[in-house]
Amino acid sequence: AQRVTQPEKLLSVFKGAPVELKCNYSYSGSPELFWYVQYSRQRLQLLLRHISRESIKGFTADLNKGETSFHLKKPFAQEEDSAMYYCALRSDVDSSYKLIFGSGTRLLVRP
Amino acid sequence: KAGVTQTPRYLIKTRGQQVTLSCSPISGHRSVSWYQQTPGQGLQFLFEYFSETQRNKGNFPGRFSGRQFSNSRSEMNVSTLELGDSALYLCATRKAGGYNEQFFGPGTRLTVL
């Protein structure tokens, strides 16, 4: 079964501390993985996708197929990073575009 | 350019009623997907429409239906509402072909009493 697991509901860190938001997936094919972010009172928006291998707002995520993980990392957290983060897997059955989301992790960066 | 718009933003209905939600995609976006977001189940895929055809459907009962018009606008309908249908319904749109980012709307908050 296709599944995305985010084990932490809440992650609280101090400003300047490193952050790692965990994401594990189960998928039989070649996965396409994303991180989405939702800031307070804003829409859900794409943060980054594994294929692009970009660093967005200082965040990076590496796909580890052996561990079936796609953890989101940032070396120095900022208060403005406080938000809800969702890991998502694209299921491309018949070329449709279906995202399977994890339950989300709330990141709270304290001053 | 204008983002994805959803109407209405808030809706209160009673059990047994039906409801129709609307989604207007970003200009040029022909794929429209719907998601249900609840505290218990999180974000769950409802269905995707492309060129007025449903391409995929999530694991929801037949009470949930949708359609897409020739201008790519989409509606979803929930009949015989149940208390458990209370949720935030999100619409997401994207351009067709290859990889194109999916953009989400603000959602419609449905409360069933």
pLDDT digits (tens), chain B, 113 positions: 679 999 999 999 999 999 999 999 999 999 999 999 999 899 999 999 999 999 889 999 999 999 999 999 999 999 999 999 999 999 999 987 777 789 999 999 999 99
- pLDDT value at residue B91: 97
Q: Residues for chain B: how many in total?
A: 113
B5/A contact by beta carbon, under 8 A: no
- pLDDT value at residue A54: 81
Out of B94, B106, B107, whose CB is closest to A97? B94
- pLDDT value at residue A1: 78
Shortest Cα distance, chain A CAs vs residue B15, angstroms: 27
Shortest Cα distance, chain A CAs vs residue B18, angstroms: 25
Q: Do B56 and A100 touch (CB under 8 A)?
A: no
- Counting as low any pLDDT under 70, the low residues of chain A are 92-95
- pLDDT value at residue A62: 87
Retrieve residue A81's tokens.
């990073």
Structural contact between residues B23 and B4, judged by C-beta atoms closer than 8 angstroms: yes
- pLDDT value at residue A92: 67
| Largest CA-CA distance found in chain B, in angstroms, rounded | 42
Measured between alpha carbons, how far is A34 from B43 in angstroms, rounded to an integer? 14
DSSP state of B25: P
